[in-house]
Amino acid sequence: MTMEQILFYLMAVIAIASALYVAATRNLVRSVFMFFVTLMAIAGLFVLCMADFVAITQVVIYVGGILVLIIFAFMLSGRETLSNLQHQSKFISISKLPALILAGLFFIVLLNIILKGNISGLMWTEKAVLTNNVISAKDTTIDNIGVNLMSNYLLPFEAISILLMMALVGAAHLSRKERSA
């Protein structure tokens, strides 16, 4: 096995095992900290796909932003609320039937894609290899991303920025003190 394959299997195993722990554990805070391990393993997988920018963005946004906010919420809500949340009976029970069905169906979809899709011989990848339209490990990926964001994907990009702006205004409005009440 090459170094890349060893690293891939290592990180895939870490990602899956830690994700299972996140879903199965009763200790909510530990599951959040374990989610950090999952995210780092997935960032490593992104690097192996030569998507280094995506990997680092994942760390900045999920680890530096979202995870910290989740833990913040935990710390602001007292231990009693937390222990109420943690009193769940079993991992699999009747009340969780909808979630189980959804997860099962999604799993079938994923299995179908993996089994039926001829992943090593896809048309567009073969075409890209033939026309030499590929990136190598030493290439700078951000130039490409920047140009595409400002040309091909300008509309989604602007739409997302408006959405974020709305969220920002909403948050500012919610946290503002009432003048006379």
Partner 1 sequence: MNFYLKYIIAAIGLFAFSGFFAILGVYAERKVSAFIQDRLGPMETGRYGTLQTVADVIKLLTKELITPSAADKWLFMLAPAIIFIAVYMGFAAIPWAGGLAPSNINLGLYYIFAIISIETLGILMAGWGSNNKYSILGAMRSAAQIVSYEIPAGFAIISVVMIAQTLNLQTISAQQGVLSAEHSKFLGIWDVTANGGILSWNIFRAPHLLIAFAIYFIASLAESNRAPFDIPEGESELVAGFHTEFTGMRFAFVFLAEYSMMFLVSMIGVVLFLGAWNTPLPNIGSVRLADWTTGMAWGIFWTVVKVLLLVGMQMWIRWTLPRMRVDQLMSLCWKVLTPLAFICIIISGVWRLWVM
Q: Point out which residues bind partner 1 (CB under 8 A).
A: 29-30, 33, 36, 52-53, 56-57, 59-60, 63-65, 67-68, 71-72, 74-76, 138-142
Q: How far is the CB of 14 from partner 1 (least distance, A)?
A: 15
Measured from the CB atom, is 26 or 30 closer to partner 1? 30
Q: How far is the CB of 140 from partner 1 (least distance, A)?
A: 5
CB 11 within 8 A of CB 48: yes
Measured from the CB atom, is 3 or 181 closer to partner 1? 3
Q: How far is the CB of 102 from partner 1 (least distance, A)?
A: 30
Q: How far is the CB of 33 from partner 1 (least distance, A)?
A: 6
Q: How far is the CB of 130 from partner 1 (least distance, A)?
A: 26
Measured from the CB atom, is 68 or 165 closer to partner 1? 68
Measured from the CB atom, is 48 or 63 closer to partner 1? 63
Measured from the CB atom, is 20 or 119 closer to partner 1? 20
Q: Can you say whether the dihedral through the CA atoms of 18, 21, 22, 27 is positive or negative?
A: negative
